Amino acid sequence: MKKRKIGVIGCGAIGKAHIQRLADRIPEAEVSAVSDFFSEAAKETAAKYDTCFYQTGQELIESSNVDAVLIASSDASHADYVLACIQAGKPVLCEKPLALTAAECEAILEAEMKVGRQLVQVGFMRRYDSGYAEMKQFVDDGKIGEPLLIHACHRNVYQPDTFQTDMAVTNVAIHELDISRWLLADEYRTAQVLTVKQNSKTRGDYLNPQLMLLETRSGARIVIEVQASCAYAYDIQCQVVGENGVVNLPDPPRICSRSDAARQIPLMTDWSERFVQAYETELQRWITGVIEERVDGAGAWDGYAACVTADALIRSRQTGEAELVKMMDKPVFYM
């Protein structure tokens, strides 16, 4: 079997976790190249995995030693690297968000249409989580009737010192923006951020929590509570309410202990542990897509849809009003 040579840009926490997964779990892939804005991090990773170090992401993308690229660098760097991959004609899995703004995503859509082949997959790994996948099947099978509402919570324990208010949308709620339109097979019409009582324990200068309200074109409503930090655990909740019933995202299985007159089920605190199965399935399906020359899961269009909505949420925080989510008509290329 010819292994696909994967270049990884970004050797921070998520980059390293992906490299380990590729090495341990994906026999059809080998990590052939790494790079990072902080070259020491890339050099260390290259030594650990006996792979090649590249000074810049651009050099890695252009190298003949790389068949496909995984981008796990800082959010602000995603769009330029994705464009470079498209220009080099190489498949790319880009961690979420695809870009920081819808305008950057539009450039990506244009570039992809110009080369005439879908190359971009976006790291919306929740679509591969078995819990979300079961919910989606349940909704699609009509088991709760017409969906009316989604209640979602995204609660984090901590954030890096560099965290800012907008990142609660672009980096955190972006998952719910994708998964909700996927679960409902609907697009958004409006987006609004509501002012809520703030957590006085937040360490940093950002709004926490934030409550986001979305309305879809068919009139369904989605309420997302985002606690970027200071929550009791990393807790992801999602409930779809339909005309005939509701369906809930299952919590990941954990042991249940009984002692001191209490029944206890531990919760996770670190987001990187919660969706391990989803990340693994995502990588497996991405590599299969690379081999079969197609994109699996969320593509550039989905990355764009999430970013247009994120832009509207950020505008809404400034205007205090519900903002229209102004998406371009879907090009035939993405149908």
Minimum CB–partner distance for residue 175 and ligand ISE (Å): 6
The token duo for 195 is 């002012």
Residue 208 contacts ligand ISE per CB under 6 A: no
Does 309 engage in binding with ligand ISE (CB under 6 A)? Answer: no
3-state DSSP helix/strand/coil % of the chain, to nearest 5: 40, 25, 40
Give the Å distances, CA to CA, from 44 to 11, 63, 81. Answer: 9, 20, 22
The stretch near ligand ISE (CB under 6 A) out of 133-141, 144-152, 170-178, 278-286 is: 170-178
| Residue closer to ligand ISE, measured from CB, 279 or 301 | 279
**Structure tokens of 261?**
């007159």
- Cβ proximity to ligand ISE, 54 vs 81, nearer residue: 81
Residues sharing a CB contact under 8 Å with residue 6, sequence separation 6 or more, in sequence order = 22, 29, 30, 31, 32, 33, 66, 67, 68, 69, 70, 287
In the bound complex, what is the minimum distance in angstroms from residue 94's beta carbon to ligand ISE?
13
> Under the criterion CB under 6 A, does residue 271 sit at the interface with ligand ISE?
yes
Site for ligand ISE in 140-169 (CB under 6 A): 154, 156
Residue type, position 201, single letter: K
User: Measured from the CB of residue 296, what is the shortest distance to ligand ISE in angstroms?
Assistant: 19
Q: In the complex, what is the shortest distance from the CB of residue 233 to ligand ISE, in angstroms, rounded to a whole number?
A: 12
Min separation Cβ 332 and ligand ISE, Å = 32
Name which of 118 and 171 has its Cβ closer to ligand ISE. 171
User: Minimum distance from CB of 75 to ligand ISE (Å)?
Assistant: 9
- Does 73 sit near ligand ISE (CB under 6 A)? no
Where does the chain show beta strands of DSSP type E? 4-9, 29-35, 52-53, 68-71, 92-95, 120-123, 147-155, 188-194, 210-216, 221-227, 235-242, 246-248, 257-259, 262-264, 323-324
What 3-state class would DSSP assign to 297?
A: coil
Say if residues 13 and 272 touch (Cβ distance below 8 Å).
Answer: yes
171 near ligand ISE (CB under 6 A):
yes
Q: Return the number of the residue (94 or 111) whose C-beta is nearest ligand ISE.
A: 94
Give the DSSP H or E segment for 40. Answer: helix 39-48
Nearest to ligand ISE of 78, 154 (CB atom): 154
Q: How far is the CB of 159 from ligand ISE (least distance, A)?
A: 6
* 190 near ligand ISE, judged by CB under 6 A: no
Instruction: Report the alpha-carbon distance of residue 326 to residue 283 in Å, rounded.
Output: 31
Residue 52 or 172: which CB sits closer to ligand ISE?
Answer: 172
Instruction: List contacts with ligand ISE (CB under 6 A).
Output: 154, 156, 171-172, 175, 271
